[in-house]
Amino acid sequence: MAAPRPPRFDAAAEEVARTAAAATDWPALAAAATPCVACPELAATRQHVVVGDPPRHGRARFALVGEAPGATEDDTGRPFVGKSGQLLDLLLAEAGLDRADAAVLNIVKCRPPGNRTPKTPEVARCSGWLRRQLELLDPPVVVALGLSSAKWFLGPRTKLAEARGRPHDVGGRAVWATYHPSAAIRFGPSGAPRAGLLEDLTSVARSLAS
């Protein structure tokens, strides 16, 4: 499968893509993304552009890619640090994965008002940042957390139940689609999303070890 194409480019999306492509390393990209105002509604209501976290050392063994920052992430400027992030850290540890080895990213870098789902033009405008992050960090494996992220990588008709459980070759990377930790929280500790997320992270860990 070819690398994903962002939906419906407009002038703002093209400008982001050009700016992101010019970034030669992670610090340059973070500096360019931080003042982004490509999405006026998001720029007007956010506190921080949550650029993402690179791995603590070396190349990313894998990337975790969610949908968008929540309230805690918007407050702190860091991805997956609220309740969803705490559960994600717990399940990563149970699966035998170390968050320090991962790039932790979102398809949209600013919190949508009321935690609503990002709109299609917002995803398109932010795609340049994520695409360049993946180029710079070059993770061989990507874990797409939730349907919005899965659709970014696998296409708009993706159904999570059908995409889960196996890697998809996307632009030379192995993309695993799974539940978002927020779904695991919503359905509780005995719910299918939590069990499925842990199962998929365990499969990712096995694939990295092989």
- Strand boundaries in 24-171, DSSP class E: 62-66, 102-106, 141-145, 168-170
Alpha carbon distance 40, 135 (integer Å): 26
Three-class DSSP category at 173: strand
Tens digit of pLDDT for each residue in 32-64? 999 999 999 999 999 999 999 999 988 999 999
Tens digit of pLDDT for each residue in 156-180? 999 999 999 999 999 999 999 999 9
**pLDDT score recorded for residue 6:** 47
The answer to whether the beta carbons of residues 14 and 124 sit under 8 Å apart is no
Q: In order of start, what are the domains of the chain with their CATH numbers?
A: 11-209 (3.40.470.10)
Tens digit of pLDDT for each residue in 82-108? 999 999 999 999 999 999 999 999 999
**pLDDT score recorded for residue 105:** 98
Alpha carbon distance 104, 184 (integer Å): 18
pLDDT of 7 over the 90 cut: no
**pLDDT score recorded for residue 8:** 53
pLDDT of 5 over the 90 cut: no
Alpha carbon distance 199, 202 (integer Å): 5
pLDDT of 4 over the 90 cut: no
Tens digit of pLDDT for each residue in 106-163? 999 999 999 999 999 999 999 999 999 999 999 999 999 999 999 999 999 999 999 9
**pLDDT score recorded for residue 102:** 98
